[in-house]
Amino acid sequence: MTDSYHPARIEPDIQQHWEAQAAHRAERGSGERFYCLSMFPYPSGKLHMGHMRNYTIGDVISRYLRMCGRRVLQPMGWDAFGLPAENAAMANGVPPAEWTRRNIAHMRTQLKSLGFAIDWERELATCDPDYYRWNQWFFLRLLERGVAYKKTGVVNWDPVDQSVLANEQVVDGRGWRSGALVEKREIPMYYLRITDYAQELLDSLDQLDGWPERVRTMQANWIGRSEGAEISFACGTETIKVFTTRPDTLMGATYMAVAAEHPLARKAARDNPALAEFIALCQQGGVSEAELATQEKLGMDTGLKAIHPLTGAELPVWVANYVLMGYGEGAIMAVPGHDERDFEFALKYELPIVQVVSLPDGRAYDASSWHEDYVVKSGQLLNSGPYDGLSCEAGFEAIVNDLESRSAGRARVQFRLRDWGISRQRYWGCPIPIIHCDHCGDVPVPDEDLPVRLPEDLVPDGAGNPLARCEAFVNTTCPKCGRPARRETDTMDTFVDSSWYFLRYTCSDNDQAMVDEQTNAWMPVDQYIGGIEHAILHLLYARFWTKLMRDEGLVAVDEPFARLLTQGMVLAETYYREDAAGRRQWFNPADVDVERDDKGRFVRALLRSDGQPVHAGGVEKMAKSKNNGVDPQALVDQYGADTVRLFSMFAAPPEQSLEWSDAGVEGAWRFLKRLWSGVRAHLDTGSAGGGLDPTRLDQAGLELRRLLHETIAKVGDDFGRRYTFNTAIAAIMEFSNHLNRYQQEPAADRSLCQEAWTGIVRLIAPVTPHIAEALWQSLGHAGSVFDAGWPAVDESALVRQTVTLVVQVNGKVRGRLALPPDSPREQVEHLAMAEENVRRFVEGQSVRRVIVVPNKLVNIVVG
């Protein structure tokens, strides 16, 4: 053992040793299986702090459970298809395949240098044909079952680049490269019927009790089940079908509104140029919901009249940009009296507003301004003819019944969730295995011809999909009739790739089948860890895909992830200077020095290169745009993997955002140095001397041993149940402070010190595995610390001689009592009253109550 801690010397050796021993192979061990999965990274170039944090959390859990005797699978792979590779190709002229594979190689090296207990034999990349062939194979099964189907969908269209744009490529309504105004355009796409699974996806959320409540709530709201009615309004020879959650307010409907894309709107526009112009206006802008929901409400009368199915009254039909074609029927009955958006619209276009539900406490209705209580369902119907006086519930039922008897409507459940469009007009993705034949139509590629390989040498240029221009790919023959035909050039949404990768890890060596019996042996994933930003889409699609595979008889589980941990973002301070035009130039925190006053408060920040001040821009998510990224690799090179791992686990609990601090890293480094020198000092005193005999310990020894076993209990609880690694580490630090102090006493018991150090080394091992292995051997053990087992709590060591009770008067602390545990209530009260300081506050007042919480607190209520 060296005198001081040198991570650069020990870490590579230990990593090589693990590799030589195949220490992280999932088949090792004999205990119950545990599948610990971290969300796989997009290979963007190099590891960032978010990855580092995510995988450290997974590694701590994996290594802790491994020490507890579980057989742990911790795999790793690459979410390797996607837009950034195409953007990099445009910038550098390098094919996405080459760029991606180079990034993977580099990031794999980085992950290895961090010492994660990953079973690398199962590694996969979604851009490998061996992986994506199964996307294609399963897509064909879904097509056979009718789960996959084709229909048109709306996309962002850049008229200059002649390209479909992703939502993030639309900036302020314009294409990010061309600057052209973006238009909505309808194109044919493949969809998956996730709405057929909406009810099951909603219902089984209840079983996911290992998921954070907020994620379940977000998913439930996303699925958005609502009970209401479908109502048909005659409109000339056509019918306008609407869905409403408030059929009870039908008598308050004063106009109809349809989406700009609604067939009726298009028809009406044919001989109405003004309306056609308005519809064209609605086609401008992007398709994202945030954009649609925040735009100004606009509308135009079509001149058409719809017939109210109960009263026969004529209602004007409007086109309105707040009605979405993608939700419900693309048309609504507007009840401005009891819907805020309809109200706003009616007020703007001077449409009639009718109150049909009475307000609570007989409040007066005000048709000139909106009030929240207009949507309440607790009142009685009025202005509703035969339904007057009914409650909303009764009115709902009566009106739906009447509609049904006239074949003008029925009760129906509607989901907010829409079917999943999986077609992407992009090159770097999994080809959709379809061949278009002029004679046979859309023909699935036969299973034996899979995979449809993506050519890997194309370079996108931003103008459309290069795959569509790749003759060698596009031109083929029809599998049915053998005549010349064209391949589909759309690729799959990358969410398809990430919807089942966790299944493939369990059987990645099987080239005959998508999954096998190993899959059912490992599934479900016991613990899934990833960013909160995936709370809805990725997790919902993965749940859905798992159910699809279950219904195909491929997997046994209903739900893929038993327990979910959503980690927070990694943040860092930002610094900038403003130029004359008000543009900000951002400086990396590593290049800035901070001056503080003598109370440690921030005074100013100076750029190291020129000594001149910069502005502090607050703490933000690490991002290229703010130049506040901290490179984990630089820190690993400087301090070693253990220090970086330790700080990232210590600085915040996993669910919260983590603020990066170089000074904090320094603190983690100091702790590991003290740990090293503490063990070193212990070993320098000579032999540990026989076994520990607790009965021969003095007061200080008993106290230290109690702290040791309290710490073992606390750390095990924090690692195993709470997943609050920060408090586990704090407890280990606290105990090691005590131990360092204790072992400097001349009367310190050497055997107790030995027990304590071997305890600490095992407790910290999941977080800082390299130093733990090294110290474990220094303390005289052969073999790996991860084979040593988790330390056991000695219950007898936990017994306390005294407990401290707080004495309060009227809820304010006025004194403390040191008493044997479980002292009788009378004695506690008596001693509390006798306290000098307590008497001062009780004197002259009458004692009304005395509350005693055993072993904790006495509160004397006076007054």
Work out how close the CB of 606 gets to RNA at its nearest, in angstroms, rounded to a whole number: 14
Residue 765's contacts (CB-CB under 8 Å, 6 or more residues apart) are 63, 67, 772, 773, 776, 785, 786
Pick the closer one to RNA by CB: 406 or 800. Answer: 800
CA 63/CA 762 separation, integer angstroms: 11
- Token reading at 248: 């009870």
Work out how close the CB of 54 gets to RNA at its nearest, in angstroms, rounded to a whole number: 11
Work out how close the CB of 363 gets to RNA at its nearest, in angstroms, rounded to a whole number: 17
Work out how close the CB of 263 gets to RNA at its nearest, in angstroms, rounded to a whole number: 21
Handedness of CA 685, 688, 692, 693 (dihedral sign): negative
Q: Which helix (H) or strand (E) holds 385?
A: none
Residue 847 pairs in a beta bridge with: 862
Residue 297's contacts (CB-CB under 8 Å, 6 or more residues apart) are 320, 321, 322, 341, 344, 345, 348
Q: For the CA atoms of 194, 197, 201, 203, what is the dihedral angle to 10 degrees?
A: 160
Burial environment of residue 802 by CB neighbours within 10 A (0 to 12, 13 to 18, 19 or more): exposed
Pick the closer one to RNA by CB: 127 or 399. Answer: 127
Pick the closer one to RNA by CB: 13 or 666. Answer: 666
Pick the closer one to RNA by CB: 265 or 733. Answer: 733
Work out how close the CB of 749 gets to RNA at its nearest, in angstroms, rounded to a whole number: 20
Work out how close the CB of 428 gets to RNA at its nearest, in angstroms, rounded to a whole number: 8
Work out how close the CB of 41 gets to RNA at its nearest, in angstroms, rounded to a whole number: 7
Report the first-to-last Cα separation within the chain, whole angstroms. 66
HEC string for 144-160: HHCCEEEEEEEEEEECC
Pick the closer one to RNA by CB: 60 or 535. Answer: 535
Q: Which helix (H) or strand (E) holds 142?
A: helix 129-145
CA 367/CA 480 separation, integer angstroms: 65
**Structural contact between residues 440 and 446, judged by C-beta atoms closer than 8 angstroms:** no
Work out how close the CB of 340 gets to RNA at its nearest, in angstroms, rounded to a whole number: 8
Pick the closer one to RNA by CB: 424 or 504. Answer: 424
CA 437/CA 432 separation, integer angstroms: 15
What are phi and psi for residue 206, nearest 5 degrees?
-60, -30
Instruction: Identify the three-state secondary structure at position 391.
Output: strand
Pick the closer one to RNA by CB: 327 or 586. Answer: 327
Q: For 501-516, b where at least 16 C-beta lie within 10 A, e where not — what string?
A: bbbbbbbbeeeeebbe
Pick the closer one to RNA by CB: 290 or 580. Answer: 290
Instruction: Identify the three-state secondary structure at position 643.
Output: helix
Pick the closer one to RNA by CB: 249 or 423. Answer: 423
**Structural contact between residues 822 and 855, judged by C-beta atoms closer than 8 angstroms:** yes
Pick the closer one to RNA by CB: 276 or 376. Answer: 376
Pick the closer one to RNA by CB: 132 or 495. Answer: 495
Q: For 116-151, b where at least 16 C-beta lie within 10 A, e where not — what string?
A: bbbbeebbbbbbebebbbbbbbbbbbbbeeebbeee
Work out how close the CB of 53 gets to RNA at its nearest, in angstroms, rounded to a whole number: 12
Strands 409-415, 314-320: pairing is unpaired
Pick the closer one to RNA by CB: 638 or 724. Answer: 724
Work out how close the CB of 172 gets to RNA at its nearest, in angstroms, rounded to a whole number: 14
Pick the closer one to RNA by CB: 270 or 812. Answer: 812
User: How many residues are listed for the chain in this entry?
Assistant: 863
Tell me which DSSP letter residue 521 carries: H
Report residue 73 CA to chain centroid gap.
Answer: 21
Instruction: Identify the three-state secondary structure at position 302.
Output: strand
Work out how close the CB of 685 gets to RNA at its nearest, in angstroms, rounded to a whole number: 17
**Identity at 794, one-letter amino acid code:** D
**Structural contact between residues 259 and 269, judged by C-beta atoms closer than 8 angstroms:** no
CA 244/CA 255 separation, integer angstroms: 14
- Token reading at 105: 């190689």
Strands 584-587, 592-596: pairing is unpaired
Pick the closer one to RNA by CB: 282 or 417. Answer: 417
Work out how close the CB of 187 gets to RNA at its nearest, in angstroms, rounded to a whole number: 7
- Token reading at 384: 């509703």
Work out how close the CB of 499 gets to RNA at its nearest, in angstroms, rounded to a whole number: 12
HEC string for 189-256: EEEECHHHHHHHHHHHHHHCCECCHHHHHHHHHHHCEEEEEEEEEEECCEEEEEEECCHHHHHHCCEE
Pick the closer one to RNA by CB: 406 or 741. Answer: 741
Strand ranges inside 579-621, DSSP E: 584-587, 592-596, 602-607, 613-621
Pick the closer one to RNA by CB: 221 or 585. Answer: 221
Pick the closer one to RNA by CB: 511 or 836. Answer: 836
Pick the closer one to RNA by CB: 358 or 465. Answer: 465
Work out how close the CB of 774 gets to RNA at its nearest, in angstroms, rounded to a whole number: 19
Work out how close the CB of 533 gets to RNA at its nearest, in angstroms, rounded to a whole number: 4
Name the residue among 494, 518, 497 with its Cα closest to residue 508. Answer: 518
Work out how close the CB of 857 gets to RNA at its nearest, in angstroms, rounded to a whole number: 5
Work out how close the CB of 579 gets to RNA at its nearest, in angstroms, rounded to a whole number: 23
Work out how close the CB of 247 gets to RNA at its nearest, in angstroms, rounded to a whole number: 21
Tally of CB atoms within 10 A around 439:
11
What are phi and psi for residue 236, nearest 5 degrees?
65, -125
